[in-house]
A and B are shown apart, each in its own frame.
Chain A
Amino acid sequence: MTTRRQFIRISAMGAGAVMAGVTGYKLFASGLTDGQKATLAALTGRTPTYCEVCFWKCAGWVHKDEKGDIKKITGNSEDQNCNGRFCPRGTGGVGMYHDDDRLRKPLIRTEERGKQSFREATWEEAFDYIAEKIKVISAEHGPECIALFTHGSGGKYFSTLLKALGSPHIAAPSYAQCRGPREVAFQATFGETIESPERTDIRDTKCLVLIGSHIGENMHNGQVQEMSDAIDKGATIITVDPRYSTAAGKSKYWLPIKPATDLALLLAWINVIIAEELYDKAYVEKYTYGFEYLRDHVKNMTPEWAYGITTIDPTVIRETAREMANAAPAVIVHPGRHVTWYGDDTQRLRAVAILNALLGSWGRRGGFYRPETFELPEVKHPPFPTPKRSWRTEFPDMYKMADTVLANGLCDATIPDPSRHCQFQAWIVNGTNLIETLPNQENTMKAIQALQLLVVIDTMPMEITGWADVVLPECTYLERYDDLRTGPHRKPQIALRAPAAEPAYETKPAFWMARELAKRLGVIEYFPFEKMEDQLDWQLKQVGSSLEEMMKIGVKTFDRPYDDLYFAPDEDVEFYTPTGKIELYSTTMEEAGYDPMPKYTMHEEPPAGFYRLNYGRAPMHTFSRTSNNPNLTDLMAENSVWVNPRVAKEWGLSTGQYIHLMNQDGKRSEFPIKVRVTERIRWDSVYMVHGFGHDQKKLRRCYGKGASDTNLITKVLVDPIMGGTGMRGNFVTFITDLGGEEVAS
């Protein structure tokens, strides 16, 4: 075996690079720095929060110096999501507050949409402008033509506003661009969803199977912590990924699968588990429906069959299946998180669910536990009016198992089309950079150009704010109260977010914005509390706590009402499915006209000279929302494209070289991207971290750094079952001649 060695200093390149010229520094007094003093003062002066840099929502403490300036954030040791340890993004959350590119004042557009010409406005002006437009649109087209896209705490308040106005059209891209297929598949199988944080009992598992899931690079805190605990306890990790991910490096088995063939591997595993009678017989007998159908269905889907498709050695398929069975029921075939890949994602996740059912891991220690959410009293207000129209009527007989509004569905239904009635006229977008979130950017822009009103609420000038008619600057999570975090987790728990500082500039909390708009739109009765803190105190007092107490402790844990984290031995369990059983054969899917058991279908392969575009996450960033964060940019300032050395040789590529990528539709990356030649990627695909290549010039730190994968995802493989947007069917080639173009540095 020839050995290639790579030695990369991943983060913080500064120290070596700036060694020149160290002479002539002036003397400086020693003693404790402000951050160090904050540590010592922490025991007295600290503010509770839960994080909003990603949506794991870890609870922690914000520490300030004597001047009241925010210095650092640490975890709350009582918190189940983080166990006292924040991840790099949470620790670097201070950068979100200190970022001097933040939105500062309300803005109103002065020229046509797309040109970034804005004038500063007062809050009064901005609200009046929005309210006036909404009134006109509601009167002419009905309130249903107003849509909300949200990802974050503010979404709750704007949701209340929309529902009060009579629109049900509230979408989060975390569904159809991310977790949706998983939730639909597990709902169909077990009658319950996975939710976030995931109900995976990784801490106590003996075998963790990751399929394209890159925990460790995907830095969802509690999962990473529990994977580490599992490693400590000697658990087996099996990773299926065409890329040698960080998790693959921790695994006993790494299956370097041919991209887009995971479903064949899953079916072969099911085949082995059944053929070798490795399944949990008592569990399958007692709890499941359709085992015989499944046995017949997978009869011919042998490891040898899968070998031809996946390139995984049949012996390895058998061996790994036995590993899982040996560990059962303390085994987790992980459902993943971002799973909208190839358009048959619900079916792939059904195979994952079925495999878990055969191994008896659902409801068992080391498998999947029953999460508990704390029930808080809801704020009392009049019932919401009943909407007269739904987005669903625009998609007859499609996406029948979508159990929530599709962000891409709303986007598609905004584009004028003679076949559609409910063209959306207004979008309110809170905390999600739709341009980088929804695939097929041209489509998104076409929809935006058809709108009468686009309001964007954000803390940063993202690409989407450049398209807005009105931009409302939100203060960061460190400067506001928000609703209490209530779970789900092993124990019911609540966490408080309180402001550690006054909102900077003229920024305001989303709660206040939604309420001000409600006043102007005549629906103020849906916001009975004038101040968030009064609402929190009212809620807390009814559950035996108070805002005063929560300010001191940040997190409060309650007992589970029942001792039912796992199924009791021989417990009679009624599952929320039509048969009351775990449905190996899905009656819901059959009823809706979809395959009741998953079938492998071949996906398109890259043409000659093209490579499948795979994308993922880096532990120090959350999508595109952190790309400009000074602390996190310092850890990773741009992405690179991973290329296998064989491919690099063919193309004459070398590490550090900047190139353009061009996809199958001739779409060229807007900015050049740095090449990383590495053995860690298969020769038939390339890999890049999502969230870079910003073309918003107001993001001064990250503008033009790296390339955007979303930019290259023009082909979308839509899941017919629930409308998820499969994004891994795009292929790219390399353009090495930059033609004198300068690279941002």
Chain B
Amino acid sequence: MRYAMAVDTKKCVGCSDCVVACQTENDVPIGFCRDWVVERMDGTYPQLEVELRSERCNHCDNAPCVRCCPTGASHIVDGGIVVVSHNKCIGCGACIASCPYDARYPHPKGYVDKCTFCLHRVREGMKPACVAVCPTKCMYFGDLDDPNSDVSLVLKKRKYKTLIPEAGTKPQLYFLI
């Protein structure tokens, strides 16, 4: 089993619904976030291109945050999902520094927090909160080992990219282009 997510940049409108849905689902305090939206623009008027994409933890196969964690709080669970055990985290911030995607934040309660692909929902057969709420249905989630999962099907059909592949982290967040 290998969980992964694909985000369709052709459909994302950058509304940030994924951000607020994640905040209310996971009690992320206001002022912090586990996912966010990026706008990238190229060109000069009127030859322009804008890419909008919802970003979060890449749940890397080769996760630097897990390797550098001194207490073992950052670890890998079901289907490659990277999580932080809040009770083991000492808030040292090594993982924050090691993450090329800037995906982690220090929770005011003293631990480092990040996207879990909504593991608690996934275990109940539900989709992550961001995927479930997205009005444009631009996010696909599922098991890459299952050829019929939403994410496998869309990655077969469409061109995609990952972010900072040169970091060698083998990210599992794909962007359809």
By a beta-carbon cutoff of 8 Å, the part of chain A in contact with chain B is 1-12, 14-16, 18-19, 22-36, 39-40, 71-75, 82, 84-88, 91-92, 94, 216-217, 219, 221, 224-225, 227-229, 231-232, 244, 246, 248-250, 254, 256, 619-620, 630-632, 634-636, 644-645, 678-683
Residue B105 CB within 8 A of the other chain: yes
Q: For residue B15, which residues in chain A have a CB less than 8 angstroms away from its CB?
A: 87-88, 216, 219, 224, 619-620
B20–A91 touching, CB < 8 Å: yes
Residue B60 CB within 8 A of the other chain: no
Q: For residue B43, which residues in chain A have a CB less than 8 angstroms away from its CB?
A: 1, 3-4, 679
Stretch at the interface among B45-53, B61-69, B167-175: B45-53
- Contact string against A for B residues 86-125, beta-carbon threshold 8 Å, 1 for contact and 0 otherwise: 1111111100100000101111011110000000110010
Residue B24 CB within 8 A of the other chain: yes
A634–B21 touching, CB < 8 Å: no
B16–A12 touching, CB < 8 Å: yes
B26–A35 touching, CB < 8 Å: yes
Instruction: Name which residue of chain A comes closest to B36, CB basis.
Output: A12
How many angstroms between the C-alpha atoms of A634 and B36 in the bound complex? 11
Q: Give 24 pairs: A residue, B residue, CB < 8 Å, sorted on A.
A: A4-B44, A7-B40, A12-B36, A12-B37, A15-B33, A15-B104, A19-B105, A25-B90, A25-B109, A30-B85, A30-B88, A85-B137, A88-B21, A92-B20, A92-B24, A216-B13, A225-B137, A228-B135, A229-B137, A232-B11, A619-B14, A630-B30, A636-B16, A680-B50
Residue B76 CB within 8 A of the other chain: no
B112–A22 touching, CB < 8 Å: yes
How many angstroms between the C-alpha atoms of A14 and B33 in the bound complex? 7
Q: For residue B111, which residues in chain A have a CB less than 8 angstroms away from its CB?
A: 25, 27-28
Would you give the shortest CB distance from A33 to chain B, in whole angstroms?
4
Q: For residue B138, which residues in chain A have a CB less than 8 angstroms away from its CB?
A: 228
A10-B36, A22-B96, A636-B16 known; 14 new pairs, CB 8 Å cut-off, are A5-B40, A7-B38, A12-B16, A12-B37, A15-B102, A22-B112, A24-B91, A28-B89, A30-B86, A87-B15, A227-B136, A631-B20, A634-B23, A679-B44
Q: Which of A10, A217, A244, A619 contacts B46 (CB 8 A)?
A: A244
Q: For residue A683, which residues in chain B have a CB less than 8 angstroms away from its CB?
A: 45
Q: For residue B126, which residues in chain A have a CB less than 8 angstroms away from its CB?
A: 39
B33–A18 touching, CB < 8 Å: no
How many angstroms between the C-alpha atoms of A219 and B86 in the bound complex? 36
B91–A23 touching, CB < 8 Å: yes
Q: Which of A5, A28, A33, A40 contacts B41 (CB 8 A)?
A: A5
Instruction: Name which residue of chain B comes closest to A249, CB basis.
Output: B50
B92–A634 touching, CB < 8 Å: no
How many angstroms between the C-alpha atoms of A618 and B40 in the bound complex? 17
How many angstroms between the C-alpha atoms of A143 and B37 in the bound complex? 52
Q: Which of A10, A25, A34, A680 contacts B48 (CB 8 A)?
A: A680
How many angstroms between the C-alpha atoms of A340 and B138 in the bound complex? 32
How many angstroms between the C-alpha atoms of A232 and B11 in the bound complex? 8
Would you give the shortest CB distance from B34 to chain A, in whole angstroms?
8
Would you give the shortest CB distance from B41 to chain A, in whole angstroms?
4
How many angstroms between the C-alpha atoms of A254 and B45 in the bound complex? 11
Would you give the shortest CB distance from B13 to chain A, in whole angstroms?
4
Q: Which of A11, A33, A36, A630 contacts B16 (CB 8 A)?
A: A11
Instruction: Name which residue of chain A comes closest to B111, CB basis.
Output: A28
Interface residues on B, range: 35 or more
How many angstroms between the C-alpha atoms of A479 and B23 in the bound complex? 22
B16–A8 touching, CB < 8 Å: no
Asked whether A19 and B93 contact (CB < 8 A) given A11-B37, A678-B41, the answer is: yes
A22–B92 touching, CB < 8 Å: yes
Asked whether A86 and B25 contact (CB < 8 A) given A18-B32, A22-B112, A246-B50, the answer is: no
How many angstroms between the C-alpha atoms of A23 and B70 in the bound complex? 13
Q: For residue A254, which residues in chain B have a CB less than 8 angstroms away from its CB?
A: 46, 48
Asked whether A10 and B14 contact (CB < 8 A) given A40-B124, A228-B137, the answer is: yes
Residue B19 CB within 8 A of the other chain: yes
How many angstroms between the C-alpha atoms of A232 and B176 in the bound complex? 12
Q: For residue B17, which residues in chain A have a CB less than 8 angstroms away from its CB?
A: 85-88, 91, 619
Q: For residue B13, which residues in chain A have a CB less than 8 angstroms away from its CB?
A: 216-217, 224, 228, 246, 250, 619
Asked whether A25 and B91 contact (CB < 8 A) given A231-B11, A631-B30, the answer is: yes
How many angstroms between the C-alpha atoms of A636 and B49 in the bound complex? 23
How many angstroms between the C-alpha atoms of A23 and B51 in the bound complex? 36
B33–A3 touching, CB < 8 Å: no
B30–A256 touching, CB < 8 Å: no
A22–B42 touching, CB < 8 Å: no
Asked whether A23 and B92 contact (CB < 8 A) given A34-B27, A85-B134, A680-B50, the answer is: yes
Instruction: Name which residue of chain A comes closest to B29, CB basis.
Output: A14
Would you give the shortest CB distance from B111 to chain A, in whole angstroms?
5
Instruction: Name which residue of chain B comes closest to A246, CB basis.
Output: B13
B14–A36 touching, CB < 8 Å: no
Residue B31 CB within 8 A of the other chain: yes
Would you give the shortest CB distance from B76 to chain A, in whole angstroms?
16
B135–A14 touching, CB < 8 Å: no
Q: For residue A75, which residues in chain B have a CB less than 8 angstroms away from its CB?
A: 133
Q: Which 9 A-B pairs have the closest CB atoms?
A: A25-B110, A25-B91, A12-B33, A216-B13, A619-B15, A22-B93, A228-B136, A72-B24, A33-B27
